[in-house]
Structure 1
Amino acid sequence: MNPSTSDISGPSGPNRRTLLRYGSVAGLGALASAAPFLRPEGAAAAAVGGPEPTAPELKLTKFRDSLRIPPVLRPREHGDHDELTVRMRTADVTVHSQMPAVRMWTYEGVFPGPTIRTVSGRPLRIVWENRLTGNMPVEAVDFGSATGRSPDPLTNYPGTSGTQVVPGVADLAPWAAVHLHGMLTGGGNDGWMENLIGPGEVQLSAYPNKQAATTLWYHDHTHHVSRFSVYAGLAGMFLSRNEEEDALGLPDGARDVPLILCDRNFGVDGSGNPTGRLVHKVEMIGPRRLMRAHAAPYTLVNGVVWPYLEVRPRWYRFRIVNAANSRIYRLMLLADGRPVPGALRVIGTDQGLIDKPLAVEGALNLSPGERADVLVDFGAFRGRALKLVNTLEGLTPGASDKLEDLLEPDVMQFRVADRRPSDRFSLPKTLSPTFERLSRHDVPHDAVSRWVVVVGPGSGNVPELWEMEEVEATGLTFPAGGVVQVRDAGGTVRTLRRTAMSYEDGAAFTAARGGVEIWNYLNLAASPHPMHIHLSHFQVLSRESYDITGFDRATRGSAKPVAFEAALPLEAHELGEKDVIRVGTAGRIAPNATLGELVTVAVRFPVVGRGVHHCHMLEHEQHMMRPLVVSPAGHSGAGGHAGAGGHAGAGGHAHMGH
């Protein structure tokens, strides 16, 4: 199986479905090295905008380089399925024209990796081939003070001055495990993080591809070190299309633009100029050396630092992926320094199109691993420059905040050509007629209910993920370690006892294929956590705030029940089918916060096998990950034997989503 052709833009016209399946044979290497920055096909000459300075310590000029569009890979038809080979390669990648190329681990020599485009419903087999060379191309360092947080942490700046080396990272060999994030495939093809392949070896994965047209992404999932391997460059986008989507006539070709967001840091030379050496830098707080969420000062979009994109005064479609290790992006579009309300219109979520377009009136909050499919109409902005910025709750959009690692808030610039709008596209009233938005009444009354509680750092000085079981309170003394009481909106008090915490602990949650379960994520920690469930997809039923003053942090149990405070609205990108959900505020982190969050989701399990559920902050994967098993319905009770602990049995069944 050979890689097919690399195209700069997607096909359009009556033969789209055929073109999506086929491509003439061509190598990616020549395309990747031909030009570091490629102008999207059909882009108009810009009349406005231009480079801008940033903070002096960051050295690089903003909006100097154009947005790079990743090359496209299309699989070849082979009988009843499609086939593709994707090679992992070590490569030097240009991320900004004012700094040397960056040594990275990549897919097919480019960062991000090629966009894989497929037709939904066509089974796909991919050979992931490891041709990586050398050791981990990332210098890992940390810093900190025994007296607490710095008001201007070193994570705001490039270089390693004032830090110490994290041992063992520089010598990591190029092992890999590829996870096609969001693909509903069995456990044997999911990229199990301990089934590693070394250089010269291949991972063979079969993907049913039986899901809605959607935006997925693929990335490395190597156990214990994914925070470094993904940071090194092992990430790319996966798109599928179907007839339902094609019938909408959405912006296509050069107006269907992937935006893969991440942040990176680099080493510096004697003059403070970035050298192109990747630096993973984190702050360790206080005498316990508690790790802050990773943050870096340079924002990359499609592998380019602070790029610009030339657009025409027409509608555009943007597939946005948050591929950062830990940073939450609160995105706003600014014109003349002011937010444009409703400029971003969400048409799809992690797992496909929603029923109707939804305008984003505030910020579009994407936590690591989340995706949003949005439309933007540039028709009212001819001859003007706009900015996409990252902001914080309570902060003036476009302003910086050193304390929260937001020295440079700009993400990218759009330069709208000064020409008469000529767009026949109009926003559809209906997007996916097959999508159904769930309510609690749609979930079977006998559906299994799970509880997952997120708490702050414990004896291991890292945040913890607790799997819980509901028990009777009789005979218990409060507070008790690992026991949490919850008073819901109706006044009912539930007593939850921890059953597992570390990856190696005991029996796993075991669900039934085709079943529907309710998962309750309760966050008792200061930080938000994006929760991801493999082998499944889900809809968010509710988000609620809870008074968590009853949780005793010393004993790590409830002195009194944590109690319902208020129902919170769901955001536009949370109203469709998903596989990642943020649990906790997307605003500023308050270490002594009195409010936590309960997010409830209805989960469907269409495939079988052994997978995991975990926090998608990559720095948390090692200690906030638990196994998950999905079995064929009825298998656990066959022969009269009870299943493993936490088994769901047959579970409830319901029609969900697409």
Structure 2
Amino acid sequence: MDTASDRTPDRPGLDRRTLLRGGAAAGLGAVVTTTTVLATSPEAASYDAGPEPSPPELILTKFRDRLPVPPVLRPKQRDRHDELTVRLRTADVTVHSQLPRVRMWTYEGSYPGPTIETTAGRPLRVAWENGLTGEIPVKAVDFGLATGPSPDPLTNYPGTAGCQEVAGVSGLGPWAVVHLHGMLTGGGNDGWMENLLAPGDVQLSAYPNRDAATLWYHDHTHHVSRFSVYAGMAGLFLARGGRERDLGLPAGEHEVPLVLSDRNFDLDASGAPAGRLVHKVEMVGAQRLMRVHAAPYTLVNGVVWPYLEVRPRWYRFRVVNTANSRIYRLMLLADGVPVRGAFQVIGTDQGLTDRPRQVEGALNLSPGERADVLVDFGEFRGRTLKLVNTIDGVTPGGSSRRDDMLEPDVMQFRVADRRPNTGFTLPKTVEPAFRRLGTDDLPRERPPRWIALVGPGTQNMPELWEMEELAESEAQGLDLPAEGIVQVRDEHGALTTLRRTAMAYDDGNTVRAAHQDLEVWKYLNLAASPHPMHIHLAHFQVLSRALYDVTGFDRKVRGSARPIAFKETAELEAHEIGEKDVIRVGTAGRITAGPNGTPGELVTVAVRFPVLGRGVHHCHMLEHEQHMVRPLVVGPADGAQHEGHSGMHH
């Protein structure tokens, strides 16, 4: 097998020969449109700021490089479907002008991969060709203190000093499997995480592509995705159609994708950043519990802290959080002050919503979540604004070393000093066909499905528990606390007793749902850490979010000593109103110190299952994905009798 050092990788970018070739194995072709690689510069530009220094330890200059727009890849039309070939390949990619080119595993040689742009309603067939070479271009290290977490962890800084290398990562070969995240397609095309694609092989996937939405594609190799996605295997997917054209939304250069991620880099012998990816985590305490990954450099569209020149007018941004584990809590600042109501959300994970919703405070996007937002720069002609990441309790724009946020800036907007364009008016209605589900829409003949999210157990890792409700007669004889038994008291005082049925990936008792069914899932977070939960083969609406007192949960016994009790209802955020496939369960802000100091959360969703097959449901923090994952099977409703389940419930 070739190694990264004995073969020159393909250069980044999409050359005409690559894009127009036919896939020999699949008989599929690819077509690219002529695109602007960098966002167009407004005329008569004049700004009050330019590049800025980052903290000295991070070395690189902020806002030195212009925001790139990923190249666009469009499929070739056939009679009844469209076709596309996408090649996975190793490439050296520029992520900052002061940094050597970075070796990555990519789609078509760029990071992020090309934006695949399709027409909703046109079925799509994709041949994903594995042309990767060499071993994974990521150095994985960890560190930690036996006394507990550091107030200034090494994750804030580049390099590997004070760390030890994680065994078994450096030799990982170029195996892959592509998951088109959010696409409602059958299990055979979903990118099952164990259907590995060897170098030279082709993954053939058919996507119904029915609805207009902002999706993304990424590697989903079982147990390895935290390293393979970090190596560069992610890209944006847009299905256009529906109401978009009728609304006259900002388009062309005024519609910009913002693909967010974070990375860290090694240092060379002189102490300068080298073009080598470093995946660095903190192992906390004597038990060496892993804190989820966080890196000091934020990338937008594959560039560290870029700037974008804009005109004083409305823009449309497709914002996607592709980071391994970092939650981006985004605010727009002008002169260091948050711009109130800067973001108008018109779409969520699975498409447009009924009307624009103004974001109050920060736009919280956990890994895997997307938001379709409109921003008006009309009042800021000739000025410079910043998009920043924030932490609850820290002044917006301020840093917090203990929260892995040495540098809060994400990117800079430079607004041209010219007359504002007033040709666009924010519509009152976006998608009239969208409807929020009500109580009358929900199933009443069976109980909800409960999923408990629990802190590290005997394996020093967080756990995902599938639960079942016990009848009152079964619950009466229990001696509490008992392992795997959780009691919950809701806002009406009703007590529900839950028993764990499965938690490990191969525990059996696979979740079985009926095709075209509607189920209610209740996610109960008993831990301090938030978890973004993702369901394959499905989409859902978030019905409610509520805070619960979880101090009654005994972490040693791993059961509740007294009921987990309702405290108060929490508001859904603007980007949580529409159709979704990822939902954050738990706080997006600061985690309160002390055992069980952070209130738990109960998030209730109504899940639809429009496609058939085998999939999974899991936490989309990639450092958790390997152990907070369970299989899911969607089958015909009339097959329930053969499974021995009622309604295909476990």
Q: TM-score, normalised by structure 2?
A: 0.93
The one-letter code matched in structure 2 to 1:604 is R
The one-letter code matched in structure 2 to 1:214 is A
Aligned pairs for 1:162-561 within 5 A: 162-211=162-211, 213-446=212-445, 448-471=447-470, 472-561=474-563
Is the CA contact 1:6–1:26 (under 8 Å) kept in the aligned structure 2?
no
Deviations 1:432-457 (A, max 9, x none): 01100123332132255100000100
CA distance in 2, matches of 1:357, 1:300: 27
Task: Report the alpha carbon displacement of residue 594 of structure 1 after superposing the two structures with TM.
Answer: 5.0
The one-letter code matched in structure 2 to 1:547 is D
Is the CA contact 2:259–2:300 (under 8 Å) kept in the aligned structure 1?
yes
Aligned pairs for 1:33-72 within 5 A: 38-41=37-40, 43-44=42-43, 46-48=45-47, 49-72=49-72
CA distance in 2, matches of 1:243, 1:549: 47
Aligned match of 1:654:
none
Task: Report the alpha carbon displacement of residue 422 of structure 1 after superposing the two structures with TM.
Answer: 2.1
Aligned match of 1:597:
601
Q: TM-score, normalised by structure 1?
A: 0.92
The one-letter code matched in structure 1 to 2:113 is G
Task: Report the alpha carbon displacement of residue 589 of structure 1 after superposing the two structures with TM.
Answer: 1.7
CA distance in 2, matches of 1:126, 1:108: 14
Task: Report the alpha carbon displacement of residue 5 of structure 1 after superposing the two structures with TM.
Answer: 8.5
Task: Report the alpha carbon displacement of residue 47 of structure 1 after superposing the two structures with TM.
Answer: 1.2
The equivalent position to 1:580 in structure 2, one of 571, 579, 582, is 582
DSSP 3-state at the match of 2:579: coil
DSSP 3-state at the match of 1:511: strand
The one-letter code matched in structure 2 to 1:611 is G
The one-letter code matched in structure 1 to 2:608 is R
DSSP 3-state at the match of 1:380: coil
CA distance in 2, matches of 1:442, 1:188: 30
The one-letter code matched in structure 1 to 2:602 is L
CA distance in 1, matches of 2:649, 2:565: 32
Aligned pairs for 1:601-616 within 5 A: 601-616=605-620
Change (3 A) 1:6 1:411: farther
CA distance in 1, matches of 2:566, 2:341: 31
Aligned pairs for 1:20-99 within 5 A: 25=31, 38-41=37-40, 43-44=42-43, 46-48=45-47, 49-99=49-99
CA distance in 1, matches of 2:318, 2:159: 32
DSSP 3-state at the match of 2:91: strand
The one-letter code matched in structure 1 to 2:441 is D
DSSP 3-state at the match of 1:379: coil
Task: Report the alpha carbon displacement of residue 476 of structure 1 after superposing the two structures with TM.
Answer: 1.0
Aligned match of 2:8:
none
Aligned match of 1:145:
145
Is the CA contact 1:388–1:413 (under 8 Å) kept in the aligned structure 2?
yes
Aligned match of 2:569:
567
Taking only the aligned residue pairs, the percentage that are identical comes to 70
Task: Report the alpha carbon displacement of residue 27 of structure 1 after superposing the two structures with TM.
Answer: 10
Change (3 A) 1:244 1:25: closer
The one-letter code matched in structure 2 to 1:495 is T
CA distance in 1, matches of 2:41, 2:54: 29
The one-letter code matched in structure 2 to 1:643 is G
Aligned match of 2:7:
none
Change (3 A) 1:440 1:163: same
Aligned match of 1:656:
none
Task: Report the alpha carbon displacement of residue 301 of structure 1 after superposing the two structures with TM.
Answer: 0.2
CA distance in 2, matches of 1:383, 1:325: 36
DSSP 3-state at the match of 1:140: strand
CA distance in 2, matches of 1:369, 1:205: 21
Is the CA contact 1:290–1:461 (under 8 Å) kept in the aligned structure 2?
yes
CA distance in 2, matches of 1:91, 1:509: 40
The one-letter code matched in structure 2 to 1:433 is P
CA distance in 1, matches of 2:484, 2:399: 39
CA distance in 1, matches of 2:68, 2:644: 51
Change (3 A) 1:243 1:522: closer
The equivalent position to 1:635 in structure 2, one of 611, 633, 639, is 639
DSSP 3-state at the match of 1:365: strand
Is the CA contact 1:633–1:650 (under 8 Å) kept in the aligned structure 2?
no
Deviations 1:505-547 (A, max 9, x none): 0121100011000000000001000000000000000000001
Is the CA contact 1:137–1:278 (under 8 Å) kept in the aligned structure 2?
yes
Is the CA contact 2:121–2:209 (under 8 Å) kept in the aligned structure 1?
yes
Unaligned 5+ runs, structure 2? 1-12, 17-27
Aligned match of 1:117:
117
Task: Report the alpha carbon displacement of residue 23 of structure 1 after superposing the two structures with TM.
Answer: 11
Aligned match of 1:18:
none
Number of equivalent positions? 621
CA distance in 1, matches of 2:139, 2:14: 34
Unaligned 5+ runs, structure 1? 8-21, 32-36, 652-658
Task: Report the alpha carbon displacement of residue 39 of structure 1 after superposing the two structures with TM.
Answer: 2.6
Task: Report the alpha carbon displacement of residue 244 of structure 1 after superposing the two structures with TM.
Answer: 1.7
DSSP 3-state at the match of 2:618: strand
Is the CA contact 1:6–1:72 (under 8 Å) kept in the aligned structure 2?
no
The one-letter code matched in structure 1 to 2:615 is G
Deviations 1:212-247 (A, max 9, x none): x11000000000000000000000000011142211
The one-letter code matched in structure 2 to 1:561 is P
Aligned match of 1:621:
625
Is the CA contact 2:32–2:73 (under 8 Å) kept in the aligned structure 1?
no
The one-letter code matched in structure 2 to 1:121 is G
Change (3 A) 1:196 1:80: same
Is the CA contact 1:484–1:497 (under 8 Å) kept in the aligned structure 2?
yes
Is the CA contact 2:264–2:295 (under 8 Å) kept in the aligned structure 1?
yes
Give the CA RMSD over aligned residues: 1.9
Change (3 A) 1:43 1:237: farther
Task: Report the alpha carbon displacement of residue 25 of structure 1 after superposing the two structures with TM.
Answer: 4.7
Task: Report the alpha carbon displacement of residue 549 of structure 1 after superposing the two structures with TM.
Answer: 1.2
CA distance in 2, matches of 1:268, 1:89: 25
Task: Report the alpha carbon displacement of residue 78 of structure 1 after superposing the two structures with TM.
Answer: 1.1
Deviations 1:19-63 (A, max 9, x none): xxx9995699xx9xxxxx943146445311310001001000000
Task: Report the alpha carbon displacement of residue 620 of structure 1 after superposing the two structures with TM.
Answer: 0.3
CA distance in 2, matches of 1:47, 1:297: 30
CA distance in 2, matches of 1:518, 1:391: 32
Aligned match of 1:15:
none
